[in-house]
Amino acid sequence: MSEKEKNKVSSSVDNATENNKKESKPPKEKKQKNFKKLKFGSVSAVVLVMVIAITVIINLMVSTISKRYPLKIDLTPDNRYEHSHQWQLTSSRCTGAITE
């Protein structure tokens, strides 16, 4: 290789490294992590736990009240499913199996 060719090669290499230096950006500083997803995820988890807890508490309250004050509802027009006082007395005296 002649001197001119060596100079051309070395100058092109120098130009390439200078261009790379210009094009390359300085190293970025570490960004603070975005905690937005974590925040919304934790809020939704808390809301879910609260809804479940409220549902369980309401269920316990209703079951306790229904045991203490039994609710009888007969929506038939002629009260077909109500037990008469006579039937209650009769059934309380029966000790054996009732068959037809």
**Average pLDDT over the chain, rounded to whole?**
76
User: Which tokens is 8 given?
Assistant: 């051309």
pTM over 0.75: no
Give the start-to-end residue ranges of the domains of the chain. 35-70
Taking a C-beta distance cutoff of 8 angstroms, is the pair 56, 49 a contact? no
Cα–Cα distance for residue pair 54/67, rounded to 1 Å? 20
Convert the pLDDT of each residue in 52-70 to its tens digit: 999 999 999 999 998 898 7
Q: Is 79 left (phi over 0), alpha (psi -120 to 50) or beta?
A: left
